[in-house]
Amino acid sequence: MRTTVADLGIVALRPLRADDSAAIAAQVSDFEVARWTARIPHPYPPGAADAFLLDAAATDAAGATLHRAVTRAGDDSLVGIVSLVMIRPGVAELGYWVGRVAWGQGIAGAAAAAMIGIARDQGIYRLLGKVMDGNPRSMAVLARQGFVTDHEAPPEEVVRDGQRTLLHSFVLDLTAGGQGA
């Protein structure tokens, strides 16, 4: 996928850098951030952020993913990450997290909107979003962007931190009108 820098009012998206490692580790070490994601381990092991950055750089270079650091506009510090994972040609999954001190300020919503624009520019016509039971903030982020329940993908039982939970699937059709198009 091509590099795109997006600036959407309160946030800017930029490529991840090796020196983002400490900011990532500090923010995702928070169980309240990690617990709602599919892959962030808790406790967060030493070196995990560096390993993540290397892996993200490799999969981005291969076109399998696109990761962007989320910053506040005018401030280069990473406050979250937004990503696309290619599922098949034209279809990708949107992911994101924001450090807890920055919650409730519209940052994830603005970052998601920016990434949806990037996805559309890259020819993606269908975006998927997966949210665990009990994460209304993330459901609100997707709903505000126009995502709806994916009736083709019923809730899936997953195990996270030893607990069974349901993963709800949402979809945004980028060929349709409305906020997402």
Distance CA 66, CA 83 (A): 5
Query: Does position 141 bind ligand COA by CB under 6 A?
Result: yes
Query: Does position 136 bind ligand COA by CB under 6 A?
Result: yes
Torsion of CA 78, 59, 160, 164, to 10 degrees: 130
The residue from 21, 37, 145, 165 that contacts ligand COA (CB under 6 A) is 37
Q: Which of 124/139 has CB closer to ligand COA? A: 139
Q: Which of 106/155 has CB closer to ligand COA? A: 106
Query: Does position 52 bind ligand COA by CB under 6 A?
Result: no
Give strand ranges (E) for the chain.
6-8, 11-14, 65-72, 78-88, 91-98, 126-132, 148-149, 156-160, 163-173
179: tokens are: 């906020």
Minimum gap (Å) between residue 161 Cβ and ligand COA: 14
150: tokens are: 């994916």
60: tokens are: 């981005």
Minimum gap (Å) between residue 124 Cβ and ligand COA: 18
Distance CA 57, CA 50 (A): 11
Q: Site size for ligand COA, by CB under 6 A?
A: 21
The residue from 9, 26, 137, 175 that contacts ligand COA (CB under 6 A) is 137
CB neighbour list of residue 166: distance below 8 Å, 6 or more residues apart: 132, 133, 155, 156, 157, 158
Minimum gap (Å) between residue 63 Cβ and ligand COA: 23
Minimum gap (Å) between residue 112 Cβ and ligand COA: 8
Considering only residues 92 through 121, tell me which ones interact with ligand COA, judged by CB under 6 A. 96-98, 103-109
Residues 145-164 as x/- pattern, contact with ligand COA by CB under 6 A = --------------------
Nearest one of 85, 95, 80, 75 to 135, comparing CA atoms: 95
Interface residues with ligand COA (CB under 6 A) are: 33, 36-37, 96-98, 103-109, 131, 135-138, 140-141, 144
